[in-house]
A and B are shown apart, each in its own frame.
Chain A
Amino acid sequence: MSSAFPGLRLTDLTLGYDRHPAVHHVSGTFEAGSLTAIVGPNGAGKSTLLKGIKGLLPVLGGRIDCGAWASSALAYLPQQAEIEHDFPISVLDVVLLGHWQTIGMFRAATRTMRQQAEDALAAVGLAGFERRPLAALSVGQRQRVLFARVLLQDSPVILLDEPFNALDARTTADLLALVQRWHGEGRTVIAVLHDLEQVRQYFPRTLLLAREVIGWGATAETLTREALLRARAMGEAWSETASLCVRPPLADEVAG
């Protein structure tokens, strides 16, 4: 990592699709080196926020500030990565793509890079899988391969969108350990998650989202019963056809 990563500051950020806002007026900072879970009901805009941070969505309002870092330098693992699973490619080749920022479209991968890719595979528990075709792997093993690719990207910020979906306990534990390791190395990790127990246990900070920020801070203080109820009510009150920035009635009216 070259120059120090200053953290990720969002200022009154509004994101959406087809000029249709999906996340409203988010303001706050992911401190450098923080480990944050993004939590919220389905359709709360968690994935949208992650895509926005990664620079894959147009910003409808406000701004994202991460110093001199280009959004392409942030490692991003999308939900259910739209990967062609039976594509005839070897596991090692997939992992080597993690070097994209260095080798790009045309440069060759060096022996060192290969060694790093093999080390990354070993780190996710897939040593000896280098030559196997991706198509022969299980869902859990494929997610391990994608984590190895993220590992190789050596990015100061790692964005994970529901990284443990459909994984068994063993795989989840192994990959969670990797997330902890990234945190220990001082990387900024932001993960969209559903398992609240997991969040309470492993993620020091939480952003509770329901189209707008319900709470953002230390996990224990953010994931309160009232806040979760409020988030759920906001999620249910959301109308798909609303085109303007109108706030739905707040939770105390709906729930109370």
Chain B
Amino acid sequence: MSGELWTTLQDAAVGSFGDYAFMRRALVACLALAIGCGPVGVFLVLRRMSLVGDAMSHAILPGAAIGFLLGGLSLPAMSLGGFVAGLLVALLAGLVARMTRLREDASFAAFYLISLALGVLIVTLHGSTVDLMHVLFGTILAVDDTALLLVAGISSLTVCVFALMYRPLVVECFDPGFLRAQGGGGGVIHLLFLALVVLNLVAGFQALGTLMAVGMMMLPAATARLWARQVPGLIAVAMVIAFLSGYGGLVLSFAWNLPSGPAIVLMAGVFYLISLLVGPVGGVLPRLLPRSHLEA
């Protein structure tokens, strides 16, 4: 590695956060996002709903676009719009799954596609391409105090709600029939969880954009599966990896003037790929290593 490259990286990794307030804000935003998205992502993976997170992130777009049309580039307006749209799609998909033959994943796919097309249409009819890019990809480096409060508020709320519904949520994932037999409540828990998914996607949306927000949620959660065996461990690993990805992505983005959203998600992707190889719980290399059968 050449000396110049090293200096650039070192400046970005340490100096940038001391010198620039926007970098510090971005870092705090990443920490808050990591704490909220960690548990949400882990339960999405455990519930085999990884792609539902993806669908939801697209579903947010028209709401954000309408918020953008009504309130301009105002974060509260766009976030509220996004939250309402995401929740609407979640509810409709759940309703369709209950009332018709279609399964929940199929109805999710249908509604998010409708929602996404509607969103793109609204934005292109009434805004410029620059606006669309902003909504789609976000700018974590432009996070202001309002945005920071919003993200921190959402992640605090997420942690509290998880603390309350942890046991029923685990049972609803692991043995839904048991919950039903004990008097139900699974439906409410499921909806509450979907609301948390939408909220955290909305939080990630200003920083990473609608398309990238789900990356901070799913990649660390999938990675955690390769490192931990129990749910609390999974959540902890997912949070740490999400934060490290945020930090690493910010550094790269500062050093080489890269867009921050993709840089952060790519960092998470690097963690994922490395873990696939060396992850102690079912990674490729640990599986290949010979192990005495007496240990097992």
- Given A54-B181, A56-B181, A72-B181, CB of A88 within 8 Å of CB of B229: yes
- The interface bits of chain B over 196-231 (1 if a CB of A lies within 8 angstroms of the residue's CB, else 0) are 000000000000000000000000000000001111
CB within 8 A of B185: which of A89, A90, A94, A105?
A: A105
Give how many A residues have a beta carbon under 8 Å from the other chain's beta carbons: 21
Residue contact A89 to B170, C-beta cutoff 8 Å: yes
Interface membership of B173, Cβ < 8 A: yes
| Residues of chain B with a CB closer than 8 A to A100's CB | 178, 182
- For the complex, give the distance between the alpha carbons of A197 and B176 in Å: 33
- For the complex, give the distance between the alpha carbons of A178 and B46 in Å: 33
The 22 sampled A-B contact pairs (Cβ below 8 Å) are: A54-B181, A56-B181, A70-B183, A76-B181, A78-B181, A81-B175, A81-B178, A82-B175, A82-B177, A83-B177, A87-B46, A87-B174, A88-B231, A90-B230, A94-B174, A97-B178, A100-B178, A100-B182, A105-B165, A105-B167, A106-B164, A106-B167
Residue contact B183 to A83, C-beta cutoff 8 Å: no
Residue contact B230 to A89, C-beta cutoff 8 Å: yes
| Residues of chain A with a CB closer than 8 A to B230's CB | 88-90, 133
- The majority secondary structure among interface residues of chain A is loop
| Residues of chain B with a CB closer than 8 A to A70's CB | 183
Residue contact A83 to B174, C-beta cutoff 8 Å: yes
Q: How many B residues are at the interface, by size bracket?
A: 20 to 34
- For the complex, give the distance between the alpha carbons of A84 and B180 in Å: 15
Interface membership of A239, Cβ < 8 A: no
Residue contact A81 to B229, C-beta cutoff 8 Å: no
Residue contact B181 to A84, C-beta cutoff 8 Å: no
Residue contact B181 to A82, C-beta cutoff 8 Å: no
Residue contact A82 to B182, C-beta cutoff 8 Å: no
Interface membership of B234, Cβ < 8 A: yes
Residue contact A72 to B177, C-beta cutoff 8 Å: no
- For the complex, give the distance between the alpha carbons of A7 and B155 in Å: 51
- For the complex, give the distance between the alpha carbons of A74 and B91 in Å: 32
Chain A residue nearest to B181 (CB atoms) is A76
Residue contact B177 to A84, C-beta cutoff 8 Å: no
Interface membership of A101, Cβ < 8 A: yes
Residue contact B182 to A72, C-beta cutoff 8 Å: yes
The 6 closest A-B pairs by CB, nearest first: A72-B183, A87-B174, A105-B168, A100-B182, A76-B181, A82-B177
